[in-house]
A and B are shown apart, each in its own frame.
Chain A
Amino acid sequence: MKKRNPLSPYFAYAKKCFLNRSAYRFDHLMNILSTCLQIFIFWEIYRALYGNKTQVDGITITMLTTNFVLSAGLGAVFCPDDYFLPGKIWDGSISTELLRPISFKGRMIAENAGNALFNLIFRFAPICIIAAVFIGLCPPAGLLHALCFLVSAFLGWGVLWAISFAVQMTAFWLINIWSILTIKNVFVRVLSGSMIPLWFMPDWMHKIIAFTPFSSIYFTPVQIYLGQLSFEEIALRCTIQLVWIIFIYAIGDILWKKGQKKLVVQGG
């Protein structure tokens, strides 16, 4: 008997998602336009805030723009599907999903990875190019920093995915979790630095943020990209990212195991 690669079904799911996404071109174009507009707004606001100053606390306007573009770009790449599990619980298809001979969680990751790859090529790249041409970006601090940025960005994806995974698991108990997901997204947007650069947060907020995983999502990669961290600090920050991924995933996994026992299938 021919031995099959145990990962091949997951690659198939990832590929399916990738191809699925290519079908909605207009929607896609609007998405890019909307992200660029958002970046443009931030740029205009900060130009007005800076006035004649070239830098505030050592942060130039180009560094700020880079922060917004990379955060928004990575945000466009990551976008975990918050409604993957809740959707399947609502329509009852979770019962057949659990019977399949592949891991449900594995499939969740695979589909998101397929999406992320699509977004990386067709959203992240155009957004960065448009921003670089029209408003200007900082180049990476060095080749090694650029490589570390890629590693850290990958870990940032892991953190955001784990948060989404853990929160989705509450759907086993609450069924309708639109509100909780919305509140989660508020925390992500405010505390990750994608809307307000964390450099400009007051000290007391930094103390709070240090206890949360949110700055690990975009801000750590951005700081590495800009060369604001030494290599020891980079190693430390990446370790912190990894610890958050493991910690949050573990919580999600406990909920996942308990939730399956609790599962109530509506109709079907």
Chain B
Amino acid sequence: MKDIANLVGMYMKTTAKSWFQYRVDTVLKSLAVFLRESTEIIVIYFTLLKFKELNGWDIYEMLFLYSLIFLTYGIMIIFFTGLRDFGSTVRSGSFDRFLLRPRGELFQIIFVNSDWFAAVGHGSLGVVLFLVSAGRVGISWTPALALYYIFSIAGGVLIQGAVFLFLASLNFFLLETGSLKELLYYNMRRFAGYPISIFHRFIQFLMIYVMPFAFVNYFPAQYFLRKSDINAFPEIFMHITPAVGAVMYLFAYLFWRYSLRFYKSSGN
């Protein structure tokens, strides 16, 4: 156990060193990610400045809804950067190196590399949005609620981690999954910032059952806000985000174990 902790410490140190090699560039990069992700927030701000509310959601409730996306992504990318970039790892053949080392493949992928720009950029935006909105949406925070909030975040992290793990496993069969990820994950994420009740039934179906972003932010946010548009969905959905995360991750992990057997090196 202790030597695993040591190893993780070492990995973190080397990652930090390589990312902070060019200091000015690092600061600029984090700022650029922060601004790029703020674009959607700025758009929502100006839109609601004009229209006051979107299907009963005011600006702070919208920001609270959005904060969950950024917080979960910020935490998720600390662990799963290796899975996001897994396609190139397989194609360049450097996955062979992981196989030769005396530790689990997934363990190495998770801890060897972290995209700190994305983590800081998304994470800090999530924290800012949370601080701005959490006191103004009528939640009376109790320890129990705070605990459920933490579990929801963990669930959201696991859901997205499971999707990344699943897509990474597909790399063993397909080699190139970039555009699939673009379509399934990043495109769907654009919907996720809004209450899904405003969208077409087909999109709602995708957001709940195919790429379950609704469990990352809409349903957990509804647990705290209880806006009336939740009535269109089964009540249980508000309570099961942590379970959805755990189950999805378990299945993704089993699929990963299964797919590993089909790995053929692209090297020679």
State the A residues within 8 Å of B (CB).
26-27, 30, 33-34, 37-38, 41, 44-45, 47-49, 56, 176, 178-180, 182-183, 185-186, 189-190, 195-196, 200-202, 205
> Which A residue's beta carbon lies closest to that of B38?
A186
10 other A-B residue contacts (CB within 8 Å) besides A186-B35, A195-B43: A26-B179, A37-B187, A37-B190, A41-B190, A45-B194, A186-B36, A186-B39, A189-B39, A195-B39, A196-B43
| Known contacts A182-B36, A186-B39; A41 and B179 CB within 8 A of each other | no
Contact with A44, one of B25, B50, B199 (Cβ below 8 angstroms): B199
Contacts between the two chains (Cβ within 8 Å), count: 75
| Known contacts A48-B54, A186-B36; A179 and B29 CB within 8 A of each other | yes
Query: Does B198 lie within 8 Å of A48, measured CB to CB?
Result: yes
Query: Does A179 lie within 8 Å of B28, measured CB to CB?
Result: yes
Q: Give every chain A residue within 8 A of B33 (Cβ-Cβ).
A: 182
Contact with A190, one of B31, B43, B191, B200 (Cβ below 8 angstroms): B43
How far is it, in angstroms, between the C-alpha of A235 and the C-alpha of B194 when the chains are bound?
40
| Known contacts A45-B198, A196-B47; A183 and B187 CB within 8 A of each other | no
Contact with B50, one of A30, A41, A200 (Cβ below 8 angstroms): A200
Count of interface residues, chain B, beta-carbon cutoff 8 Å = 31
What's the dominant secondary structure at chain A's contact region? helix
State the B residues within 8 Å of A (CB).
22, 25, 28-29, 31-33, 35-36, 38-39, 42-43, 46-47, 49-51, 54-55, 179, 182-183, 187, 190-191, 194, 198-200, 203
The 30 sampled A-B contact pairs (Cβ below 8 Å) are A26-B179, A27-B179, A30-B179, A38-B190, A41-B190, A44-B200, A45-B54, A48-B54, A49-B51, A49-B54, A56-B50, A176-B22, A176-B25, A178-B29, A178-B32, A179-B31, A180-B32, A182-B36, A183-B36, A186-B35, A186-B39, A189-B39, A196-B42, A196-B46, A200-B47, A200-B51, A202-B46, A202-B49, A202-B50, A205-B46
> Which B residue's beta carbon lies closest to that of A184?
B32
Q: Give every chain B residue within 8 A of A30 (Cβ-Cβ).
A: 179, 182-183
> Which A residue's beta carbon lies closest to that of B42?
A190
| Known contacts A179-B31, A179-B32; A49 and B47 CB within 8 A of each other | yes
How far is it, in angstroms, between the C-alpha of A56 and the C-alpha of B49 when the chains are bound?
14
How far is it, in angstroms, between the C-alpha of A180 and the C-alpha of B190 when the chains are bound?
23
